[in-house]
Amino acid sequence: MTWREDVERDLIRNVGPRMELFVRGEGAYLWDGDGRRYLDFLAGIAVNSLGHAHPVFVEAISRQAATLSHVSNYFATPPQLELAATLKRLAGTGDHGRVYFANSGAEANEAAFKLARLHGLESGGAVVRPRILALSGAFHGRTMGTLALTGKPAMQEPFAPMTPGVEHIDSTVEALEAAMDDRVAAFFVEPIKGEAGVIDLPDGYLQAARELTSRHGALLVVDEIQTGAGRTGDWFGFQHAGIVPDAITVAKGIGGGFPIGALVTFGDASDLFYPGTHGSTFGGNALGAAVAVAVLGEIERAGLLENASERGQQIREAVATIGSPLVTGCTGRGLLIGVRLTAPLAGKVVAAAQERGLIVNAANDATVRIAPPLNIGDVEIDEFARLFADALASVSSLEVPA
Ligand SMILES: *Cc1c(COP(=O)(O)O)cnc(C)c1O
């Protein structure tokens, strides 16, 4: 197969072999080079919020490309200001909130990392808060700064030494309480640990984290890169906990397939950066901003927060109805779902699903991640249930010979 040879020869080997070559997408469907259709229940890892080639996405990108694409951060553009106001409104920052634009999740977290460092300085410039806390197993990105935040030693090891100051703790309130003191600049946390395997936080965890960080004057930074843009049934995952963070980072779903990221600050954290402290050539580019405004607008107009909650519930029920002996239950919220398996067979289930024309992925050895577009309906869910049941049956028949 020639595209596989091209991959082998031409692409840097930073990831494993590509599973497919896709040439076209429409709604929740993808087509490979042979014209075979796949149901996409991964959405580019929670990115394609409206599915593929949605008319609103296509129209926004075409219109803005024909109007104004890029001017650099020496200048402002209307889409950029509209997106900043939209993100502030959806995140509920009130007037005292600000937005920094980046091009990806890692870059949004880089900005948050620098925000934490600035918060760690006293007015004379001395570092009074050298510590940053994050959770073991958390994923915050792969750049050299964010890799220090990512709590996965196997990812860090080849690239040591890491940016200093970051400590990883277990995901329990007791561990956070024990680690927290007045030398902590910030605590970084995902509302659901997506890359670790769609792992939920303990009940009340974010509320406790808010209380502990406030008590010690540390920033609470919520990484909403995977959980944001309506994916969990609210605009952002922290909103389910009813807390107000100091900053959130967003990317993935807000651009609906266009690369864009942002740091959104609340309250006094909005005044930490000052001219010259950070920047990005592409960040806040009018093209990306216009697309994100359109995508978020369509999520709102079409009631996709509610759809994410309801369809998420429907998928959980469909998975339970399959009654596979391989499945122990589901984690996550809304349309970010982890199907927990009894054994490390996620890779096999994902491969079996793909053979049947269903795209999902292995979030860890024993968890299949489901993250479809937010606008799916009965037709897609019925098809998913049928294909996923088949895939599970084929794997369990191999694993548990009758
Ligand atoms: C994907 C992800 C990132 C990194 O985003 P990139 O755009 O891949 O750099 C960071 N944090 C979380 C929670 C993510 O899911």
* pLDDT of 17 above 90: no
* pLDDT of 360 above 80: yes
Q: What is the mean pLDDT of residues 28-33?
A: 97
pLDDT tens string 184-202: 999 999 999 999 999 999 9
* pLDDT of 61 above 70: yes
Is 341 strand, coil or helix?
strand
Question: How many CB atoms sit inside 10 A of residue 269's CB?
Answer: 26
Quick one: pLDDT at residue 399?
74
Nearest residue (CA) to ligand 1, atom 6: 105
- Which helix or strand (DSSP H or E) is residue 221 part of? strand 219-223
Q: What is the mean pLDDT of residues 214-231?
A: 98
Query: Looking at the DSSP assignment, which residues form a beta bridge with residue 393?
Result: none
Quick one: pLDDT at residue 398?
81
CB 86 within 8 A of CB 332: no
Best of 15, 113, 139, 224 for a ligand 1 pocket test (most atoms within 8 Å of beta carbon): 139
Quick one: pLDDT at residue 397?
85
Asked if residue 44 belongs to a known ligand binding site, the reply is: no
The catalytic residue positions are 139, 223, 252
* pLDDT of 100 above 60: yes
Quick one: pLDDT at residue 125?
87
Best of 47, 147, 201, 226 for a ligand 1 pocket test (most atoms within 8 Å of beta carbon): 226
- Domains of the chain, start order: 3-53+303-399 (3.90.1150.10), 57-301 (3.40.640.10)
pTM confidence score: 0.97
Q: Kindly state the DSSP code that residue 161 receives in the 8-state scheme.
A: S
Q: What is the mean pLDDT of residues 282-298?
A: 97
CB 367 within 8 A of CB 198: yes
Helices 286-301 and 78-91 meet at what angle, rounded to 10?
A: 40
Asked if residue 354 belongs to a known ligand binding site, the reply is: no
